[in-house]
């Protein structure tokens, strides 16, 4: 059976709490309909892989088995509204080079192995609201939310009657950099 998979950065509980507070503040100011993203679903997507068969998943896990996650920090320092996606998210004005390189390698690997091909550039973000059809006013400035990144998850999307849930299939963690020996084969 195929699964919808993606690589993401998990958020610390402290970062989740700061984003919950931000989400509550924004929710009180919103005038139109929107779906609140549950805090349990907060994550920073590196690469969406799409529908992946069990055989493709096994090959993917083998290729990325020795992944060493670069240790980086970033700040979610601004809000964005992506009209086509109907999303309000917290995003950053500065993407750490090592994080951008990791996302690029993961996206390139997916495309080379017949999985989802990402056309949009990588832009680190955490979705706060979905199904937003329009904004009634400009999004406010925010207090930056710091993220310390040293782990990556392979996640599966599970559709439940109450909505989508995300579950970790595999987690990689630790300091270091992506060296040639740690790239996917």
Cross-strand bridge partners of residue 170:
154
CB 80 within 8 A of CB 89: yes
Active-site residue flag, 125: yes
Among 43, 83, 162, 167, the active-site one is 43
Question: CA-CA distance, 70 to 106, in Å (whole number)?
Answer: 13
Secondary structure element (H or E) that encloses residue 29, with its range = helix 13-29
Q: What is the DSSP letter of 12?
A: P
Token pair in block for residue 170: 């595999």
For residue 83, list its beta bridge partners: none
Is 43 one of the annotated active-site residues of the chain? yes
Q: Name the catalytic one among 125, 148, 162, 167.
A: 125
Tell me which residues are annotated as active site. 43, 125
């Amino acid at each position: 059976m195929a699964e919808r998979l993606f690589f993401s950065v998990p958020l610390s509980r402290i970062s989740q709490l700061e984003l919950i507070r931000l989400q509550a503040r924004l929710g009180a100011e919103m005038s139109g309909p929107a779906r609140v993203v549950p805090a349990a679903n907060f994550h920073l997507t590196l690469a969406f892989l799409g529908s992946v068969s069990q055989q493709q998943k096994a090959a993917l896990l083998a290729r990325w088995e020795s992944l060493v996650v670069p240790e980086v920090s970033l700040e979610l320092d601004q809000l964005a509204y992506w009209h086509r996606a109907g999303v309000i998210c917290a995003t950053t004005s500065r993407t750490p080079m090592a994080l951008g390189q990791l996302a690029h390698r993961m996206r390139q690997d997916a495309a080379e192995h017949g999985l989802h091909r990402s056309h949009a550039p990588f832009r680190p973000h955490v979705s706060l609201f979905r199904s937003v059809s329009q904004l009634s006013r400009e999004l406010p400035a925010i207090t930056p939310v710091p993220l310390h990144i040293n782990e990556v998850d392979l996640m599966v999307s599970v559709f439940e009657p109450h909505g989508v849930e995300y579950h970790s299939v595999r987690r990689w963690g630790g300091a270091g950099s992506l060296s040639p020996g740690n790239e996917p084969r």
